[in-house]
């Protein structure tokens, strides 16, 4: 972030990013579908009760001239989301050996090898 900006400008950027994050969490889509979600959220005042006017005061505008900035914020939020989730991690476990009496009581999915999917941190 540019340290030469006034504190009010940094706060507006933080509020703008929070708004885009809110919309992205509601509907995990990319640009331009996220733009549609942001318009819907603004028209209903779903984010802190803010409509288009309040969002404009916090650095979010929906006009054609503001599209590149808004798309940039959406890209930044999507990148943060990917980094937050981490990279996928998958592995295969060896089949379990069970006593014959336990095997009869075990659910079907417990009788076979499993694939583990998690997140590397």
Q: For residues 27 and 22, give the distance between their C-alpha atoms in angstroms, rounded to a whole number.
A: 9
Cβ atoms of residues 85 and 118 within 8 Å: no
Q: What pLDDT sits at residue 80?
A: 87
pLDDT (mean) for 6-29? 79
Q: 70: closest CA among 82, 52, 86?
A: 52
Which stretch of DSSP H or E encloses residue 115? strand 115-120
Q: What pLDDT sits at residue 101?
A: 58
**Which of the listed ranges 29-33, 43-47, 87-91 does the model predict with the highest average pLDDT?**
43-47
- 52: pLDDT confidence band, cut at 50, 70 and 90? very high
Q: What pLDDT sits at residue 3?
A: 47
Residues β-bridged to residue 88:
119
pLDDT (mean) for 41-52? 96
Q: What pLDDT sits at residue 9?
A: 47
């Amino acid at each position: 972030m540019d340290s030469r900006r006034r504190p009010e400008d940094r706060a507006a950027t933080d509020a703008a990013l929070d708004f885009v994050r809110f919309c992205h969490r509601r509907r995990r889509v990319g640009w331009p579908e996220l733009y549609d979600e942001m318009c819907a959220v603004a028209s209903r005042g779903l984010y802190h009760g803010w409509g288009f006017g309040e969002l404009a005061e916090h650095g979010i505008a929906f006009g054609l001239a503001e599209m590149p900035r808004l798309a940039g914020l959406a890209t930044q939020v999507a990148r943060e989301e990917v980094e937050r989730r981490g990279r996928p991690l998958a592995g295969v476990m060896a089949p379990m050996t069970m006593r014959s009496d336990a095997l009869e009581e075990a659910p079907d999915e417990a009788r076979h090898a499993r694939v583990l999917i998690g997140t590397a941190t």
